Amino acid sequence: MTTARRPGPEAFDRLFEGNDDPWQFKTRWYEARKRALTLACLPDPRYASGYEPGCANGELSADLATRCDRLLVSDVSERAVELARARLAPWPHAKAVQAHLPEEWPNESFDLIVISELGYFLDAPALDRLADHARASLKPGGTLLACHWRHPIQGGELDGDAVHGRLAQRLGMEVLSEVRETDFVLHVWSDDGRSVAQREGFAAA
């Protein structure tokens, strides 16, 4: 069996050649709705520090910036990072950097990590390493959200369901939310298993 080759930075740079929005994050209702669901599924209203690997042109990053006191986002594509920096310009507490993951995972701790549409661009061992890095850098009681397309990805070794299965196994955390539609799957994990009402003190823990 032939193993899919992980795409390098040059593959993603080509996507952004002459097109600042190759996945139509800015124009598709599907993407706007998915971002709204992503934000709604976060169990806490605000986070001290957040990280979004695979930020692309920064559309989701801009929404996350409104929920974080400090936000770091990264992408393997230099052009994507330039676009994300421009999109995040109104939020000086947000920073975009270039990073090849999982090897260049930041040496920091976070209250929130959002892994959106990234996992199937990694092979299985690399995804496992990314999950291990994420678990190690998530602060106690922090939130990890993942969201991925469920249809086939050209050149991808894993689909969205397989990505979330591996993440769940490596993270070993409580599932706070699960949204599974024909097009995408979304999970929220934490080692704090309290519901939103429990966190607010309106339901017994």
Tens digit of each residue's pLDDT (9 = 90 or more) over 8-52: 666 666 766 777 787 788 999 999 999 999 999 999 999 999 999
| Dist. CA 63–CA 159, nearest whole Å | 26
Domains along the chain with CATH numbers: 9-199 (3.40.50.150)
What is residue 111's predicted lDDT score, i.e. its pLDDT?
98
What is residue 4's predicted lDDT score, i.e. its pLDDT?
47
- Kindly state the average pLDDT of the residues 108-120: 96
String of DSSP letters for 79-125: HHHHHHHHHTTT-TTEEEEE--TTTT--S--EEEEEEES-GGGS-HH
Averaged pLDDT of the chain? 92
Q: What is the pTM of this model?
A: 0.92
Query: Which burial class, exposed, middle or buried, applies to 23 when counting CB atoms under 10 A from its CB (0-12, 13-18, 19+)?
Result: middle
Nearest to 56 by CA among 76, 71, 37, 27: 76
